[in-house]
Amino acid sequence: MVWHRLFVRLAAIAVLLAAASGPAFAARPLITDDARIVDPKSCQLESWMQFQSGGNEYWALPGCNFTGNLELTLGGSLQRVDGALDATNVQFQAKTLLKPLETNGYGIALSGGAIHHPNAEQRKLFGNLYLNVPVSFSFADDRFVAHLNVGANRDTENDQTRMTWGVGTETQLHPRVYLVAETFGENRGKPSFQAGFRFWVVQDRVQVDTTYGNVFGGGTGERFFTIGLRLLSPAFLP
């Protein structure tokens, strides 16, 4: 009953956030991207809540694959500090496969996008820009998959470009349960890490997840917890 009530609440939050974001990331809960996209003619909704001492974040990223090899995502986030709305983000991303990931093989993808802060006094129309190259490796018939990322993030407000990187893994513990872990960062500052679990409530359709993360060497002020919901549709687009 506890899991049922939690799932219902997550679903309600996901729907509300998706509606609010309508007018980059890897499959939840990894930030390190993978060489996979949503199935052709299908859509997905990735949503999650992130809890930390500096304020809580609520994300929703709906995405669709209209053509077969181009996943388009448009969504955003709300951030609350002391119960009040503090910041918003709008994110657009396009992602394509250069080489599809094969079982016991590897895959390569290319993604790029923009993150805009409507409530910030940004001089640039499109906000911050980023480009990423995810490479994924499959082992043991997909029971263990590793992801490597190399990319760049252009801070248009401060005219700075930073290199980004990530290393993530997915380990199948059960047909419905995965252990996920990753570390990621930029060429400046300390890297971060997170680890947790992914669970298929309905195989290949409804997924929930939870993680714990922090900055390496960081204290309680930088740690964070996430809980997420991912919905995937069957093919229904023309």
CB 237 within 8 A of CB 224: no
Global confidence as pTM: 0.84
The per-residue pLDDT for 40 is: 95
Section 40-45 average pLDDT: 96
CA distances from 9 to 68, 165, 195 (A): 32, 34, 23
Name which residue leads in pLDDT, 70 or 15. 70
- Determine the 3-state secondary structure of 3 from DSSP: helix
Residue 113 backbone phi and psi in degrees, to 5: -175, -170
pLDDT bin (cut points 50, 70, 90) of residue 23 is very low
The per-residue pLDDT for 83 is: 64
pLDDT at 77 over 70: yes
- Determine the 3-state secondary structure of 159 from DSSP: coil
The per-residue pLDDT for 6 is: 39
Q: How far is CA 104 from the centre of its chain?
A: 24
CB 40 within 8 A of CB 65: yes
Q: Per residue in 72-83, is it b (16+ CB within 10 Å) or e — as a string?
A: bbebbbbbeeee
Which sequence spans correspond to the domains of the chain? 2-232
Distance separating alpha carbons of residues 26 and 109, to the nearest angstrom: 11
CATH superfamily of 2-232: monomeric porin ompg (2.40.160.40)
Name which residue leads in pLDDT, 27 or 202. 202
pLDDT at 10 over 60: no
pLDDT in tens, 104-142: 999 999 999 999 877 655 555 567 999 999 999 999 999
